[in-house]
Structure 1
């Protein structure tokens, strides 16, 4: 079974979409193997988004992610990384298809409801950051 990391971002938590999003993953057959609601530290987010350090949007992204609570989850299932990302939809809500999480709920590229790992290597690194007990 493949594992991926999913973060419901502050706008998703504030808009009370946590249950809807988890329900979509569970109805697809994925299993939530770890989850926690938290307010993240800047240092943890910088670790998580390390590949974006130095990019023009990095500080805006980190500032947004510390402005509210996050729901962080490790999700497990067959082809979890690819399918979860498809379910989430394109990061730009103008390009996200209806029926995807972002297509149905997002309004902004930065405040786009959700994050999911993009590869096995990234998933392992991100799960290690948020759930070291699973590694």
Structure 2
């Protein structure tokens, strides 16, 4: 009897995804972005709704301080509720960025109209979503939005289960769960 060997699946990469206030203000847009995440086989590791103060926004975007759009961006990001996700996928950072589309909405609408920004973006600031631009940025940004999230613990205990396929989407919690994380195979 011959054993069939499967190539090991690649380790999942994490990224931060933010649904900005302009998209959260419209429930159908928020739902469409969420469905885009699910339909593209991202695993939702964590999800939370939040509202930022201007100080939170200034701190997060401090690298853009002094640029012409900085104050407008700070004001906008503190203008209403947002939804933050930690997403997992084999190539989470570049894949999420490709789904978002170009930062500039005019460009997105003309070159990538099916992207999130092409479909729902209003302006270059009100462009519906944010995503980490590198693995290093993802680590830093996840720590800002999910300070209690321990990447090392996740990679040791949750990631192997998620990668193996022992997972289900919990719509009530809006995350994917693994066995022993509050559900059983019978649920």
Q: TM-score, normalised by structure 2?
A: 0.70
Q: CA deviation at 1:113?
A: 0.5
Query: Take 1:122 and 1:44, find their aligned partners in 2: how far apart are those partners?
Result: 17
Structure 1: where are the runs of 5+ without partners?
none
The answer as to whether partners of 1:4 and 1:123 remain within 8 angstroms in 2 is yes
Aligned length: 135
The Cα of 1:41 is off from its aligned counterpart by: 1.9
Candidates 11, 14, 17, aligned match of 1:3 = 14
Q: Please say which of residues 40-49 and 53-62 is displaced more in the overlay.
A: 40-49
**With CA pairs under 8 Å and 6+ residues apart, which has the higher RCO, 1 or 2?**
1
What is the RMSD of the two structures over their aligned residues, measured on CA atoms? 1.0
- Partner residue of 2:54? 42
> Which secondary structure does the structure 2 equivalent of 1:132 belong to?
coil
Match 2:116 to one of 96, 101, 111: 101
Q: When the two structures are superposed, what TM-score results if normalisation uses the length of structure 1?
A: 0.95
- After superposing on structure 2, the runs of 4+ consecutive aligned residues of structure 1 that deviate more than 3 Å are none
Cα displacement string for residues 17-56 of structure 1 (whole angstroms, at most 9, x for unaligned residues): 2221111111111011111111112222223212111212
Q: Following TM superposition, by how much is the alpha carbon of 1:107 offset from its aligned partner in structure 2, in angstroms?
A: 2.1
Q: Does structure 1 residue 15 correspond to structure 2 residue 21?
A: no
Q: Which residue of 1 aligns with 2:82?
A: 70
Q: For structure 2, which runs of at least 5 residues remain unmatched after alignment?
A: 1-11, 151-187
Q: Is 1:114 equivalent to 2:146 in the alignment? A: no
Write the deviation string for residues 38-82 of structure 1: whole angstroms up to 9, x where unpaired. 111222222321211121211110101111110111111110000
Larger radius of gyration: 2
Q: Distance in 2 between matches of 1:45 and 1:74?
A: 19
Q: Distance in 2 between matches of 1:13 and 1:65?
A: 11
